[in-house]
Each structure stands twice: as C-alpha cells, then as structure tokens.
C-alpha cells in the first residue's frame, strides 16, 4: 500500500503518535514536515475532501473528535504521467506551433499508486481497534499508553503494508501480554 507514515495530531497540532516507514528523516526534517502537514490539514473544513498533496506525499486524513489521524502515502502522480515532448517544425498549421511541447497520452504505471479510499478505511479500522481495546478511546488513552498504540499499529502495518485487518487478531498478542503480567 505504500504507507510512508502514520501521524496522530490533536487539535492544537501537537503530535500524539508518529510512526514512519522506510523514511529516514532527521529530527529537524521530521518536525518541519509534521508542522507543515498539520498546518495544511487542520486549516481545511469538514466539507473539503480528505486528501491533501504535500511535497512528495499524498496525505489522507480523518478527524475523530479532537484527534486527527493522518496517513502519508506516496504521491504517485509524478511517476505515472510522462509528458513526451514533440515539436512541430513544419508550418502546416500556420501558427499552431508556438508552444513547444504537447502533452502526449499518459503512460500508466499499473502498480505505483494508492487507493485513497482504502487508506481512509484503514484509518477507521485503526480507530475501531483502539476503541475496542481502550473502550471509547480518547487522546489521553493514546498518550498514556503510547506503546500499546504502537503495538497495535505494528500488528496492522509492517513496512508500510497492511498485514492484518481483523480486530481480534490484532489485539490477541496485546491481550495475552496483559493477562500474563
């Protein structure tokens, strides 16, 4: 699926969970990126769509009460569309060729792309899973049990790919561990 990062941010723009996949950002870069994204997404209204393009990411976000769930995926557009240059030197159509290049048809890379709607569904699944575990999950649950939120995410996503979609399978190892302790 090509998930590059999962971010949880509250209404004030404070990060509450951050997990990056195959993305090596320095601390400063990370802070800058998170800041930019949060500013961009939090400024949008409810009616606007849940997708924002930023740098080389496409961000799919969804708001639950005071928490924003943001998932960054590859923005594939640049890979998919190759504009081929073609020049008309002849003067067949007297003036038609002032501009140099013509956008030719798109060369579609059949793989590299994301299903934004599925990511949206994934966010919801993540929230439901946390809900089932914490019971009416809220910002504080995630703050004080950061490691558990991470464990859940870890069961769901590995290296940017979705690995498990059943809530009970996701929660099984966590519940086992709680029982043991």
Partner 1 sequence: MNPFSSGTRLRDMIKAIRACKTAAEERAVVRKECAAIRSSISENDQDYSHRNIAKLMFIHMLGYPTHFGQMECLKLIASAGFPEKRIGYLGLMLLLDERQEVLMLVTNSLKQDLGHTNQYIVGLALCALGNICSAEMARDLAPEVERLLLTRDPNIKKKAALCSIRIIRKVPDLAENFLSPATSLLKEKHHGVLIAGVQLCTDLCKVSEDASNHLRKNCTEGLVRILKDICNSPYAPEYDIAGITDPFLHIRVLRLLRMLGHGDADTSEYINDILAQVASKTESNKNAGNAILYECVETIMGIEATSGLRVLAINILGRFLSNRDNNIRYVALNMLMKAISVDSQAVQRHRTTILECVKDSDASIRKRALELVFLLVNDTNAKPLTKELVDYLEVSDQDFKGDLTSKICSIIEKFSQEKKWYIDQMVKVLSLAGNYVKDNVWHALIVAISNAPDLQGYSVRSLYKAFQLSSEQVSLVQVTIWCIGEYGEMLVNNVGVLQVEEPMTVTESDAVDVLESCLTHHSTDITTQSMCLIALLKLSSRFPPSSGRVKEIITTHIGSVVLELQQRAIEFNSIIQRHQNIKSSLVERMPVLDESTFISKRAGSSQANISTEKSNQQLPSGASLKLSNGVAKPAASPLVDLLDLSLDDTPVPTSTSNDFLHDLLDVGLTNSSSSASGTDILMDLLSIGTPVQSNTTPENGSSIKGFNDILPIAKPNTATVQVVDLLDGLASNGSHPGAQSPVHPSIIAYQSSTLKITFSFTKQPDKPQVTQIHATFMNLSSEAYTDFIFQAAVPKFIQLHLDPANSNHLPASGNGRITQTFTITNTQHGQKPLAMRIRIAYKVSNQERLEQGQINNFPPGL
Give the separation between CA 156 and CA 172, rounded to whole angstroms: 12
CB closer to partner 1, 56 vs 66: 56
- The DSSP element (H or E) to which 125 belongs, if any, is helix 116-134
CB closer to partner 1, 32 vs 65: 32
Token pair in block for residue 132 = 């089932």
User: Least Å distance between CB 138 and partner 1?
Assistant: 13
Whole-angstrom distance between the N-terminal and C-terminal Cα of the chain? 35
Give the separation between CA 3 and CA 135, rounded to whole angstroms: 27
Give the separation between CA 130 and CA 134, rounded to whole angstroms: 6
User: Least Å distance between CB 32 and partner 1?
Assistant: 9
User: Least Å distance between CB 170 and partner 1?
Assistant: 9
CB closer to partner 1, 136 vs 180: 180
User: Least Å distance between CB 99 and partner 1?
Assistant: 4
Lookup result for tokens 């464990």:
151
Lookup result for tokens 């997404």:
41
Q: Which of 1, 32, 5 is nearest to 21 (CA)?
A: 5
User: Least Å distance between CB 86 and partner 1?
Assistant: 10
CB closer to partner 1, 27 vs 136: 27
Q: How far is CA 121 from CA 20, 50, 105, 165, in A?
A: 19, 12, 32, 11
CB closer to partner 1, 47 vs 136: 47
């Amino acid at each position: 699926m090509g998930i590059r990062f999962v971010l949880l941010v509250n209404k004030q723009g404070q990060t509450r969970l951050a997990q990056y996949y195959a993305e090596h950002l320095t601390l400063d870069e990370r802070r800058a990126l998170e800041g930019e994204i949060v500013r961009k997404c939090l400024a949008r209204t409810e009616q606007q769509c849940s997708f924002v393009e930023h740098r080389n990411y496409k961000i799919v976000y969804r708001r639950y009460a005071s928490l924003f769930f943001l998932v960054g995926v590859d923005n594939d557009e640049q890979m998919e569309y190759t504009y081929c240059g073609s020049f008309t030197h002849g003067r067949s159509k007297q003036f038609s060729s002032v501009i140099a290049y013509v956008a030719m048809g798109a060369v579609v890379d059949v793989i590299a792309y994301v299903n934004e709607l599925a990511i949206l569904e994934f966010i919801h699944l993540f929230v439901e899973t946390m809900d089932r575990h914490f019971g009416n999950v809220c910002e504080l649950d995630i703050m004080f049990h950061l490691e558990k939120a991470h464990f859940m995410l870890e069961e769901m996503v590995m290296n940017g790919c979705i690995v498990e979609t059943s809530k009970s399978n996701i929660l099984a190892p966590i519940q086992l561990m709680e029982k043991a302790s």
